[in-house]
Structure 1
Amino acid sequence: MFITKKHISRRTVLRGAGAALALPFLEAMVPAATALAQTSANPKPRFVGCFVCHGMAPGYWIPSKETGFEFPFIFKPLEPYRDHVTILSGLHSRSAEPPPGATGADHWVAAAFLCANKPKKTAGADVYAGHTIDQIIAEKIGQDTLMPSMQLAVEDPGANSSNCGEGYSCVYTNTISWASPTQPLPMELNPQVVFERMFGDGTTTEQRAARRTRDRSILDSVMGSLSRLKAQSSTSDRARLDDYTENVREIERRLQIAMKASTVAPTDMSVPVGVPQTFDEHIKLQFDLLALAFQADITRVGTLIFARDLTGRTYPESEAPTLGFHGGSHHGEDPRRIDQFSKINQYHIKMLAHLVERLAKTEDGNGTLLDHSMVLYGSNMGNPNQHLHYDVPHVLVGGLNGKMKGWRHLAYPSKTVPTGNLLLSILDKFDIHQESIGDSTGRLDNL
């Protein structure tokens, strides 16, 4: 139990010229002589869904046993958080396979990842996928936050036509978040736009533009209010405020660097203002913004697409710096090429671990953000060389308020358990109980 002398609302926002700064959880948000669990400050669950195309290198990601295992090569970056990690193998992504009588779909249905429903084959406006679990969860836990959910991307879809391939609309590869089967939500590429949505005043574009023109920090705009709040705060709350505001300043600094870099980009390169030119900085910045949004309770639900299908992107910071992602996935069952491809897979997990580390280091009520979150990461392919949609990799990270155990490998019989069963079980963990979702046939044992 926390006892405090001064109580402030969990929804307190500091306002300045064209800026609004939501606050992290503070002890002062708990009324005196009130148990944390009995207040609105009781830690809320969070959900993150991350999709990556092109599967994983066979032989490099499945643990050797169900508990107490040494982390396999690809998942090695998550080993420091093993008590919060559950690896799932054997699942079947049936929703990524073509509908009966249809062709294609192998590379065009990322939209099925969070709904387990086969998208309608169309290149027109009559798209149809499914109501995704991130949006179902947001309807449950995100309606009293500034942003019910955040959808993030790190690869620009703008160069594609409306017909992405084999008769499937680009929208099926451009987003994994659907508010309804016919309502896809855009994934935001630009961290600067995300930051403005998080901390913009919400009044007029002119005010926000004026603040940017003055080149003032959002923190500078609310410094007076922040100073008064800190003067009235406990030592522990002042420390939390200092840590939080330092995170805001660091992100502002990095956004300024990205904006300056974009203005000197080659004339033949389309680089939106505020978008970092390297994947490494881009995805870390997006994840840092998401963690900051969780910390300030601006949102409780987020999704991110690591890569779009058929991307030839290389990852210079990985141990396979010149290998294109899609080309590397067609390894021809050559052990040397499989080994090279596994290095891209591991690099992606390193980026996931960046988010996990941020969540683990951020205090939230009586624990950390990682203690109160569930992060889902997965693909709709198993062995990508053969475009196999069974034995697909998934991993869950986080404690979800004590509902998840870690250091586990849940192995299911191959070609038997659809990914819809995983999604249905995740909804259960958020106290959302449905009879089915997508291609589900039941719930997962032992999740």
Structure 2
Amino acid sequence: MAFQPIARRTFLRGLGTAIALPALEAMASSASIGAAAEAPKRLAFMYVPNGAHMPDWTPQDVGRNFALPKILEPLEKVRQHVSVLSGLAVDNARAKGDGPGDHARSAAAFLTGMHPVKTEGRDLRAGVSVDHIAAKYIAGDTPFPTLELGCEAGRLAGTCDSGYSCAYSNSISWQSATQPAGKEVNPQQVFDRLVGGGNSKDIAESQHRRRARQSSILDFVAEDARRLQRKVSTTDRQKLEEYLESIRGVERRIENPASRFSETDIHRPDGIPNEYANHLRVMGDLMVLAFQADLTRVSTLMFANEGSNRRYRELEITGGHHQLSHHDHDADKMAAISKINRYHVEQFAYIIDRMANIPEGDSTLLANTGIVYGSAIRDGNRHDHHDVPVLLAGNLGGTFDTGSHQTFPDKTPLMNLMLTMLQAVGAPVESVGDSTGTIALV
């Protein structure tokens, strides 16, 4: 039976709803859509605050046959997809005569490689971040050139760190040298952005009906989905069903957040899970859906704001994260930091595993993506910025291999990694931030 080709930018539509589709066989023209070279390349950048307990982070051996240290043990299932990169530095997070404010400088410099101007006012200045540079060249006709996500709300005005504007601590993405991009922390709002279609009145009506009737977004596109399923192959029908079920899974998790509450949870907006791990994972799921449907090819995800003092009651840890990071070599505090670091890596591993199990032609979503995870602070107690904790996941369309522990000469700029990734996706840039060249990734 011959199946009718469909356009790559096909949407399932309903009242105030437009659900983009993943790559299907029916979207192929004369060339096979299964070819890895034809899949879009994507970039993601994930940030964790307050550094890491490096003795429990850094592998003892280099190369591929290294034992995962305590913090990185959750990567065991996906270790072939992840490399540990040691020796990279964020020099422009250092004071350079500006005094205290390492947390603000760290977040601001992570993707810009620039030393931010110390100010509490409107005269902000850092640099254009790597995600926005990349988007200029790989966004294509995606609805969202970049997608900025986070799990901790934060102001873009006022003072958050020793005379630095909160915009620095609460943002890693910068649209221009003077304009932070901010981020969205409410998964319900992100979901509505990704699936909204039509005019604002129809979108509002769709949202109202779904919440009033406790119905699914998929109910609004059911007829369109049935029509499409009659036009495509068995393989495409199965892929479409799996994709729609993944959308419904995210929707359920947004509508039914975890039941654990604390005194700080009562006033959280609708759609934000009360359990931090659930919040992180649903934001990761939304990023994955956006990549899968080619709604964006560039995303950032801040696990928390830099300098965050979030309390991890679910880990039975007393004290806030930032407070504990100033451990002064106290064994209990260092153990708590290690536990928090491992908890973050668990959520990262979940996202990587999801992407590794989503087919994309003859490859996978993860194989066509490059993901950097890390911090611009090494040890929160010393606020140092050399040998910062960095992981690299995905193969970026076969650009590099993963599964190793690589070490680089001390104080190699982190921006050398960023420049390497920009050039790998075709961005014609010779430098970015304080980069001094590209690096070899094996």
TM beyond 0.5: yes
CA contact under 8 A between 1:93 and 1:390: conserved in structure 2?
Answer: yes
Q: Deviations for 1:259-284, whole angstroms, at most 9, x for unmatched residues?
A: x989x997995312222222111111
**1:252 aligns to 2:251 (yes or no):** yes
Alignment-mate amino acid for residue 102 of structure 2: D
- Counterparts of 2:79 and 2:114 in 1: how far apart (Å)? 31
CA contact under 8 A between 2:197 and 2:203: conserved in structure 1?
Answer: yes
CA contact under 8 A between 1:63 and 1:70: conserved in structure 2?
Answer: yes
CA contact under 8 A between 1:403 and 1:429: conserved in structure 2?
Answer: yes
- Counterparts of 1:392 and 1:233 in 2: how far apart (Å)? 48
- Counterparts of 1:427 and 1:78 in 2: how far apart (Å)? 26
Question: 2:6 maps to what in 1?
Answer: 8
**1:334 aligns to 2:335 (yes or no):** no
Matches for 1:44-123 after TM superposition, within 5 Å: 44-67=40-63, 68-99=65-96, 101-109=97-105, 110-123=107-120
Q: 1:14–1:312: structure 2 CA closer, same or farther, 3 Å change rule?
A: same
Moved over 4 A (4+): 264-269
**1:404 aligns to 2:400 (yes or no):** yes
**1:191 aligns to 2:187 (yes or no):** yes
Q: 1:266–1:337: structure 2 CA closer, same or farther, 3 Å change rule?
A: closer
- Counterparts of 1:326 and 1:265 in 2: how far apart (Å)? 20
**1:421 aligns to 2:416 (yes or no):** yes
Q: Deviations for 1:158-184, whole angstroms, at most 9, x for unmatched residues?
A: 5x8612222211100111111111121
Matches for 1:12-411 after TM superposition, within 5 Å: 12-31=10-29, 33-36=30-33, 42-67=38-63, 68-99=65-96, 101-109=97-105, 110-158=107-155, 162-204=158-200, 206-215=201-210, 216-258=215-257, 269-318=266-315, 321-411=317-407
Alignment-mate amino acid for residue 5 of structure 2: H
- What is the TM-score with the length of structure 2 in the denominator? 0.93
Alignment-mate amino acid for residue 168 of structure 1: Y
Question: 2:436 maps to what in 1?
Answer: 441
- Counterparts of 1:207 and 1:36 in 2: how far apart (Å)? 34
CA RMSD of aligned residues (A): 2.3
- Counterparts of 2:242 and 2:35 in 1: how far apart (Å)? 26
Q: 1:102–1:256: structure 2 CA closer, same or farther, 3 Å change rule?
A: same
Q: Percent identity?
A: 40
More displaced 10-residue stretch of structure 1: 375-384 or 73-82: 73-82
CA contact under 8 A between 2:326 and 2:381: conserved in structure 1?
Answer: yes
Alignment-mate amino acid for residue 432 of structure 2: I
- Counterparts of 1:4 and 1:62 in 2: how far apart (Å)? 55
CA contact under 8 A between 1:42 and 1:365: conserved in structure 2?
Answer: no
Alignment-mate amino acid for residue 418 of structure 1: P
- Counterparts of 1:370 and 1:201 in 2: how far apart (Å)? 28
CA contact under 8 A between 2:113 and 2:435: conserved in structure 1?
Answer: yes
CA contact under 8 A between 1:89 and 1:409: conserved in structure 2?
Answer: yes
- State the shift of 1:208 in Å: 1.8
- State the shift of 1:422 in Å: 1.8
Aligned residues: 436
Alignment-mate amino acid for residue 15 of structure 1: R
Alignment-mate amino acid for residue 133 of structure 1: V
Q: 1:231–1:347: structure 2 CA closer, same or farther, 3 Å change rule?
A: same
CA contact under 8 A between 1:280 and 1:317: conserved in structure 2?
Answer: no
Q: Deviations for 1:39-75, whole angstroms, at most 9, x for unmatched residues?
A: 9x92111111011111110211111222211111111
CA contact under 8 A between 1:115 and 1:423: conserved in structure 2?
Answer: no
- Counterparts of 2:279 and 2:154 in 1: how far apart (Å)? 15
- State the shift of 1:375 in Å: 0.9
- Counterparts of 1:112 and 1:310 in 2: how far apart (Å)? 14
Alignment-mate amino acid for residue 381 of structure 1: I
Query: Structure 2: 5+ residue runs without aligned partners?
Result: none
CA contact under 8 A between 1:265 and 1:271: conserved in structure 2?
Answer: no
Secondary structure of the 1:298 match is coil
Question: 2:427 maps to what in 1?
Answer: 432
CA contact under 8 A between 1:4 and 1:30: conserved in structure 2?
Answer: no
Secondary structure of the 1:303 match is strand
- What is the TM-score with the length of structure 1 in the denominator? 0.92
- State the shift of 1:315 in Å: 2.3
Q: 1:4–1:90: structure 2 CA closer, same or farther, 3 Å change rule?
A: farther
Alignment-mate amino acid for residue 119 of structure 2: T
Query: Structure 1: 5+ residue runs without aligned partners?
Result: none
Alignment-mate amino acid for residue 394 of structure 2: G
- State the shift of 1:209 in Å: 2.1
Q: Deviations for 1:242-262, whole angstroms, at most 9, x for unmatched residues?
A: 10111111222222224x989
Secondary structure of the 1:391 match is coil
- Counterparts of 1:212 and 1:446 in 2: how far apart (Å)? 45
Q: Deviations for 1:134-156, whole angstroms, at most 9, x for unmatched residues?
A: 11111111131111111011012
Q: Deviations for 1:91-142, whole angstroms, at most 9, x for unmatched residues?
A: 221111123x321221212121011101111111110111111111111111
- Counterparts of 2:209 and 2:173 in 1: how far apart (Å)? 36
Q: 1:74–1:202: structure 2 CA closer, same or farther, 3 Å change rule?
A: farther
